[in-house]
Structure 1
Amino acid sequence: MNPIFRLLLRCGLFALTFWLMGCATAPPEGMTAVSPFDAQRYQGTWYEVARLDHSFERDMRDVTASYALQADGSVQVINRGFDMKKNDWREAIGKAKFIGDTQRASLKVSFFGPFYGGYHVIALDPAYRWSMVVGPDRDYLWILSRSNTLDPLVKAQLRTQALALGLSFDRLIWVEHQR
């Protein structure tokens, strides 16, 4: 293959990769991340109360997400859950970085090297007791709580907000917490 053509092809693939990575981190159209946001108050352990189904979490129960601020301004992310099929605990450690202003709850998170996906808190209790999080599109939705249950009034409030944003609230999997 011609060396110039190979170089152009390689540059094109790098450009495409960076473009795709940028697209994967933006919030879904019509959604706004919470602002002001206090990462200090958000850190700690959250229970995954509900989620839309995805292969990377299929058959998982007792799922938690722990967030810890790092000296470089990033956030360490530790996702942990019990895999019912393998009858064993699984853990994934990642890194999140703010997209722009650290006062806005819009981050990109990576568990696999240079590839990042969006993490956008679109609803947050003023006391930081629960949050609703979306990924790069409407196919990713999580409801997190500081306890492993959610008050029915909060659930109704989040349902109304999610449906207004075009999110599939009625397809959520309500995560069991028994361990």
Structure 2
Amino acid sequence: MRGLILALFLIGCSTKAPPPGALFSGYRDTSVQMSSNALFDPARYAGTWYEVARYPVPFQRGCVGTTAQYDLRADGTLSVVNTCREGTLDGPIKRIEGAARLVGPGRLEVKFDSVPFLSSPYWVLWVDEGYRTAVVGVPSGRAGWILNRDPVIPPDRLAAAREILDFNGYDLAHLRMVPH
């Protein structure tokens, strides 16, 4: 009986019922085909990005002021340095480093130094023409990000980024803005 009450409570907490036939995993309907940016240019992607919105994942719990720094290496891979502030914008800095390699058009495999035997897919779903705003997702739907070259994203590019996430099956109700 206790289990039934808990199950009903959890169902009642759901913010959005999945459409019939949907296969939700994390924040994305995995029955929707996900597409990456076929014209992705790692050299233009290099540099600093501010995480302006994300789908919450455990390792980012409590993070604000999040940035990602990508640098193109001579071998064609990208170095990756993610930093954030814990709790508040003047809180302690949390940092993780790794590398990303291109495995297909707009598709990267990222491996962090602190997790040596595990790599993760990182798909660039969209980048605007000026490489000022990017949308990144993972096929499983367990994570997703809107990145911008500045901490404040213009409303038109934020709307475009949200449309890309929606098109790729992400549930926009769970997208959270990141303070900077």
TM-score (normalised: structure 2): 0.76
Residues in 1 aligned to 2:31 and 2:63: alpha-carbon distance in whole angstroms: 26
Cα–Cα, structure 1 residues 28 and 66, in superposed 2: closer, same or farther, change >3 Å?
farther
Of 146, 164, 174, the match for 1:161: 164
- Quote the RMSD (CA, aligned, Å): 1.9
The 5-angstrom pairing of residues 61-100 of structure 1 reads 61-84=64-87, 87-100=91-104
For structure 2, which runs of at least 5 residues remain unmatched after alignment?
A: 1-29
The answer as to whether partners of 1:28 and 1:138 remain within 8 angstroms in 2 is: no
Residue 28 (structure 1) shift:
8.7
TM-score (normalised: structure 1): 0.77
**1:30-62: CA deviations, max 9, x gaps?**
112112121111100000000000110011011
Moved more, 155-164 or 113-122: 155-164
Moved more, 106-115 or 82-91: 82-91
Q: Which amino acid in structure 1 is aligned with residue 96 of structure 2? A: A
The 5-angstrom pairing of residues 110-149 of structure 1 reads 110-111=111-112, 112-149=115-152
**1:131-168: CA deviations, max 9, x gaps?**
00002322211000001111112222222232232102
SS at match of 2:59: helix
Cα–Cα, structure 1 residues 28 and 122, in superposed 2: closer, same or farther, change >3 Å?
farther
Matched with 1:107 is: 108
Residues in 1 aligned to 2:169 and 2:40: alpha-carbon distance in whole angstroms: 23
Q: Which amino acid in structure 2 is aligned with residue 106 of structure 1? A: R
The answer as to whether partners of 2:125 and 2:164 remain within 8 angstroms in 1 is: no
SS at match of 1:144: strand
The answer as to whether partners of 2:121 and 2:139 remain within 8 angstroms in 1 is: yes
Residues in 2 aligned to 1:159 and 1:108: alpha-carbon distance in whole angstroms: 23
* Count of residue pairs the alignment pairs up: 148
